Amino acid sequence: MQVPTWKLAASSSDPDELASPYQLSPFPILNTSHSLPRSAISITRAHPSSMRATSFAPAALALLLQLTLADQQQQQQQQQPLSRLRPSHQPPTADEPSPLPKQQHHHHVDAASAPPYRDSLLSLHKSLVSIESITGNENEVGRWLVDYLVGRGYAAELQFVAPSDGTPEGKERFNVVAWPGGHDEGTGNGAGRSSRRSGRADPRVVLTSHIDVVPPHIPYSISDDGDAITSRTMIKGRGSVDAKASVAAIITALDDLLHADSASPASSLSDDVMLLFVVDEEVAGAGMRAFSDSLARMDPPPRPFSAVIFGEPTENKLACGHKGALFCDITARGVAAHSGYPWLGKSANELMVRALDRVLDADLGTSDLFGNTTVNVGLFEGGVAGNVIPERAFVKIGVRVAIGPQKQGAKVVEDKIQRILDEVDDEAFTFTCSQGYGSVECNCDVPDFDTITVNYGTDVPNLAGNHTRYLYGPGDILVAHGARENLTVGVLEEAVEGYKKLILHALDHAQ
């Protein structure tokens, strides 16, 4: 299925004078030129084989108007004296109020040990978590994030992704692609200190996480310990860990490196690093798949990424990889009969129970790194009444695959389960599986990091390529999808430092 994408381009006689820093496209390399009057706007719908002009979808037009208004406000700010300028989400100066929750201000009792970015990090994290973005409904948080990044001096692009079952009518969802250099040197907050213009990104290192969350929405809250924020202060809310903590920490880490005099040359960071925040990770990975597919369609092809850093909750340890996944439906067909005469029927439930017992006890594959392949019987339906031999039974299972390789490991497990079903009854069962994958290995050979392996799935296998893969992020997956999802300020700040080390390591080892 082709996923249509939209590109917003504005041009004038001077190609450097754009009406808006926003572009809507699958990736900057796919940009096309149009001869338009100053401040004119063009929308095109891009397909792999051709591009043709078309009209706005109503929601796309509304989004465009909002982005344009935000850009006009930014241009008005730039007309003020430089001493008065500060993007809306940049950390405040000493005489400005804290950007933390407007209804309250907190005194930092551990100010001596607090990193200088604490206020901006917590403000960013709060804003992200406060916006409900259950998979399918990522539009609002995506729009907010684009505005934030452009305000920080990044160039930003939107890559639209097909709607899902949870997408409200008229609320397009999209990946956010951004990179330093959205403003000319000397403007904005300094994040754009690159000599490269914002029309094309050509990164060696990609920093990525997802902006969708699992249901239900849980409002943001931060513990109030006598009006004091310390590294032990706890933050709660849906997405506070998975994975808006990674989103906030990644952006803050890159910002801090761009501003640090001791960091690698700003031109290298600005030219070689790109941000990618995707939708749909919690369901089917459609956002990352759309981005990956767009790379394959580019002509000429982009420079291959050297490394991709994936943000997920790993307890701030560097993950050596994670188990693969396989999700399957099993249907058993029997013969209905009166329960007093079971020999006249064939119980679909009994067949299913016998089959599942063997599946759960079977060795479906083990490895030293990931342990045993495990099976969860997530849904079981069968029969119509206690006095009727059930004619049909239906089960959904989720398998965490401990064996590789990534491309074939899940198929090995699927074949083993099929053989078990055939041995129980070679005519009764229908067995279908979604496209799965085997265990996924990542690079964890980086100095000064503790390591871990995890059992959950990520977007790592959804991005094709031979790049080095790193998996890292704040928070504990054991609370991530629960009612008490939380992490501390210290854990969030530790992640910023971890991402900084990973970014510099990845750049130092880039091919």
Q: What is the pLDDT of residues 422-435, one digit of tens each?
A: 999 999 999 999 88
Give the pLDDT band (50/70/90) at residue 493.
very high
Q: Which helix (H) or strand (E) holds 76?
A: helix 58-77
Contacts of 181 (CB under 8 A, 6+ apart): 153, 154, 155, 191, 192, 193, 194, 196, 197, 198, 270, 271
Q: Give 22-72 pLDDT, tens digit per residue.
A: 444 444 433 322 222 222 222 223 332 322 233 334 444 445 445 544 554
Most confident of 33-42, 103-112, 230-239, 293-302: 230-239
Exposure string over 111-134, b if 16+ CB within 10 A, otherwise e: eeebeebbbbbbbbbbbbbbbbbb
Q: Give the tokens for residue 14.
A: 């001077």
Q: Give the tokens for residue 372.
A: 């045993």
Residue 299, pLDDT score: 85
Is the pLDDT at 266 greater than 60, yes or no? Answer: no
Q: Which helix (H) or strand (E) holds 294?
A: helix 286-296
Is the pLDDT at 410 greater than 90, yes or no? Answer: yes
Q: How confident is the model over 166-178, as a mean pLDDT?
A: 95
Residue 344, pLDDT score: 97
Task: For residue 460, give the DSSP letter.
Answer: G
Is the pLDDT at 365 greater than 80, yes or no? Answer: yes
d(Cα 183, Cα 151) in Å, to the nearest integer? 10
SS3 for 62?
helix
d(Cα 428, Cα 123) in Å, to the nearest integer? 57
The residues that are catalytic are 281
Is the pLDDT at 477 greater than 60, yes or no? Answer: yes
Is the pLDDT at 183 greater than 60, yes or no? Answer: no
Residue 460, pLDDT score: 98
Q: How confident is the model over 298-317, as a mean pLDDT?
A: 94
